Every structure is written in structure tokens, then in C-alpha cells.
Amino acid sequence: MHTSFPSLLQSSSSSRLLKAIPPITRIALGQSTWITVSCRKLKDWWHWVADGEVPIMASHGEEVEAYQALEPRTRVLILKALCDIRVEQEDIRNYIDDSIKHGIHPSAFCSERIGGDSHGTSYWYEGDPIMAIAYIVK
């Protein structure tokens, strides 16, 4: 099976996020197991970080194909939710609080809105000039 670069990047990014989101996973996170683990974590945390229904649920392995069939926008929404969940964890909150106490300005931890379009889509810059990571939030 050929795996595209974006899929490998999302698998790698998501796996790192998932390892630090409770409950801690005791299975190895591979190219497809991270999807199943994501489903379980999203089920528990979704209402804290997003509106509406969870876009994908664990279903005896069928969630892998279901995830691959999702629109890119929905995949990005899932990744953003995992990032938001990770930021809610105590170690990250402590890191941000300690940094602010030591003089780091709070804006260092925020995204910068760089524009929008007539359809209500906002474009945000995610502060990495080397990778120029950007994501779309409506």
C-alpha cells in the first residue's frame, strides 16, 4: 500500500499528540492504529474543543477507511481538535503559565489571523516561518 506524504505527516503528528492525551494509550501507534485511538480520544474530548458531532467514530476497524474517505477540511478539523485537546493538558498549561511568569508575552502562544474571504473562511498563520504552516478555520 502506498502512503502519501500528507498521510504520513498527519500520522506522525497525530501519534505524538495522542501519546500525551489521557487516557494514555498502551498500544503502538502505527499508520492506521492512530486513527482508532484518535476516535476513542475524540469521543471523550470533542465536546470540550469543538461543536457538533464527532466526525468519525471507532467501528471495529472500519474507521480507518472512513477516515481516509473524509474531506481534507474534516481531517484538518480533527487535527486541530487533537491540538486543542493537547493544549488543555496540565503539562502544557503549566509550561504556558511558567513562560508568562518569566516574561514571555501571551501573544507568543496565539495564532495570527492573516485574512479571510467572502465565504466566511478565516486564514490563520501558525508562527513557523521556516515551515510556513497555515491552517484554515471557518
Q: Where are the domains of the chain?
A: 5-104, 105-138
Residue scoring higher pLDDT (40 or 118): 40
pLDDT-derived band at 50, boundaries 50, 70, 90? confident
**pTM higher than the cut 0.85:** no
Q: Establish whether the linkage from the previous residue to 23 is cis, with ω within 30° of 0.
A: yes
What pLDDT was estimated at residue 54? 93
| Residue 60 clears pLDDT 80, i.e. is over it | yes
Q: How many residues are listed for the chain in this entry?
A: 138
DSSP 108: G
Pairwise CA distance, residues 17 & 32, whole Å: 15
DSSP alpha helices (H): ranges in the chain? 5-18, 33-49, 62-68, 72-87, 90-101
Question: What is the spatial order of strands in the sheet that 112-116 belongs to?
Answer: 112-116, 122-125, 134-137
Q: Looking at 5-9, 10-14, 18-22, which range is the least confident one?
A: 5-9
